[in-house]
Structure 1
C-alpha cells in the first residue's frame, strides 16, 4: 500500500463501516472536530455519508503524520488509513485505529465555530453552513422526499413531462412574476407553475407530472416563502376534485412513510417528534370552506385569532395555522370562493360562486403544502374568464386549443417541496430546507 493515500482506491464510505469491521480501510473526508489526550489524538472525520471517530496513537504513526494531525484546523481535508473496530461509545458505533494519514489541504480560521452565530451570518456563509450536522440532516430528508415523490408518481403510472421555466405569460397574471428580456425585445417570465403546460401533456398522456424550480416575485418575508422553490405538479385527465383529494392523501402518506423508514436518525438529530408523523394515514379530514370559516370565526370569538375572518376571503398564514392546529392529520379545505382562486378553476355546479379547488394544510401549524383542484373544461367559460381577468387573449390561444380539441374533465395539484420538508423536519423556516435559499433580501451566496 505504497504511494499517495489520496489516489488510493477503492475508498470506503463511513456509512458502510459496519461491513468492514476488523479490516484496514481508507477514508477520504474532512476534519469535523478533534481533541487531544497527551499522546493520543481523537480526530472526527466526515465524508458526506457520516462522521467517524479516529484514534491516533503517537507511537503508531510517523512523526510527520503526528505533527500534521496535531495542529490540523477544522474542515481541513485529509485521507486516513486504519483498522475499523466496533465501539459503542463512539459516534456511529465504530472507530478507526489510524496507521497513516495524508493532509490534502490544511485549513485555518474556519468561520463557523461551536459558538452561537446569528442567522444572517450563517446565511452569508451558507456554502459552509451546509456542512453542519443539522443542515446535513435536513437536506438528507429533502433528498428522501424528492425520491419518494418521484417513486410514488412513477409507480402510479404518471409520466414526467417537465414544463418550461421561461414562459410568455403567467397562470394568474404577471404581478408576482420575474420578468426577463427575451430575444428581439420580447418579454418572458420565470414560471410560477407548470400547470397550464401539464394540462396539455395530460391530454396527450393521461397522467403526467412536472417537477422543477418555480419563482414568485411576492415581496414576502414570512417563514413560509422563498422566491425560488421546487414544486411537483401532477395532472390527471378524466379526473375531478375528489380524485385530487384522494391522490393527495395517498401521496402525502407515502412520503411520510418513506421519510420515517429511511431518515429516523436524521429526525432524531433534529429532535422531531416522530409520533406525530406516525399518525399520518388515510383518511384525512375534508373541510368545506363554509365550515372552515365557521371554525375561524369561533376562534376569533374565543380570542385565539386577532382578526375576524369573513366569508369570501382567502386564508392568510394565521388562518391556515389555526385551522391546521385543530387536526392531527393534514386537513383538506375545499370549494373556496371562485373570486380568490385562479381563472381556470372549474365551478361547483350546485353553487357557481364556489371553485372546485382544494388546499391541503399540514398539521402542527405548517399551513398549505398542496394546492389544486378541478380545471374548467368549457371553452366558452375560459374565454369569458380571460376577458374578465384582462388577460392577453393571444397568449392563451394555445391553452384554449385544449378545450377545442378533446376537452375532458381534468384535475391536479402542486406541492412545494420546501414546505413539505419543513413540516416533516419540524423546523421553523423554509430557508433551511433548500441548499441555497433565495428570499426577498437574499441572493447570495
Structure 2
C-alpha cells in the first residue's frame, strides 16, 4: 500500500464517526515523509495531538499490516494559527476556538462516564461543581484521589469541557506539564508570563499533584497560584494517587489547602460497573461485543480502566485485520499474555483467604474432609480459581485438601464447570470473586 492511500483505506477500518470527525481532516505530507516515517497534517495543534494520541498506533499498525513496512507515524499541525474551516464543523473545532491553549480530550464528558459505587461521590461532586452558577463557589477546591486508570483524568477533563462550553477559561495541566513549563520560563527569565498563564483562568485543573513533592520551588509557586485563584473564586480541581495526608514531600501548608474543600476517592470498580464501562466504550467506538465476551474481559482483567480500553481497541483492530468476529476464543488468545502477567502477583493463600471470607467459612473447615454442601462448594471454588489464576499444581492442591490425588482435583474443576453452565448466579459470583482477586493483586 502506498502511504498516501492509507487515509482512504482507513475509512473501512474505523467507525464512520471517527473517520468523519478526525481522520478525514488529515492530509498526507509526502514532502516531509520518509519510508519509515510518515507525516500527516491536521488543521490545528489540538486536533493533531488528539488524533496522534487516539489513532497514531492504530494507523501505524494498519499500515504495517497492509504494506509490510514498519513506519513511525507523526501528526503535526499547519503553521496557520487561525482555525481552518471545514465543510462540517465538529465539536472538536468548537473546543479549540474557545480554549486554544488548553488540551482537553473532547470524549471525556459526564455523559459517557459510567457511574458506580466506586466513583459516585467523585462524579456527583464534580458535576455539581461545574454548574455555571456554582463554579468556584459550591465545592472548592476538589481533591480526587485513587489508583491509576480509574477515571480521575476523565472526571477532571469533563469539568473542563463543561466550563469551555460555558465560555469559561480553563487551564488544564499535568504536574509534569506544570513543572516543565515553570522550568522553561525560569530559564528564559519569563516567570511573569508563567504566573499569568496559570492565574488568569476560571478553572484550574491539575493532574497528579503528588509529583509536586519533588521540588520546593514548584510547591512555592503553586501555593501562590492556588491562593490567588481561590481568592478570586476560581474553581480548582486536583487529582492524585493518594489522599493529601499521605502525600510525601508536600509541605504542610499545601496539604492544608488541599483538604480545605472536598476530598473524593475513586476505588476499583465492582464487576457490574466494569461491564457497564466496557459496554459504554464499545457503544462510543461502535464496536460490537457479545455479552459473554464483555463478561470475560471484565472478570479476567484488573481494575485499570485505561488498560481495558486499550484491550478493546486492540481486539477490534485484530478482528478487522484478520476479518474475524470478536468471539470468546479470540479474546482468550489476545488477552492471555496480560492474564499471565497478572497471575505472577497472585498466590494460593490470597484466593483461600478471600473466598473463605466471602462465604464466611473457616479455612480449617475447607481444609477438612467435611461434606456439608456449602463447605464442598467453597472448596471447589477455591480449587477452580487457584488452577485458573495461579501456577499451583494439582498434586499440591490435592495434598492441601487431603484428597487422594490429582484426579480428585480434576473432578472438582469439572463439577464447577458443569455448574457454571447451568447456574448463572454461581457464574456471576465466581466472576465477581475472580475480579476481586485480580484487583487485589494490582494493589
| Shared fold per TM-score greater than 0.5 | no
- Name the one with the larger helix percent: 2
TM-score computed with the length of structure 1 as normaliser: 0.21
Q: What is the TM-score of this pair, normalised by structure 2?
A: 0.21
The structure with more strand, counted as a fraction of residues: 1
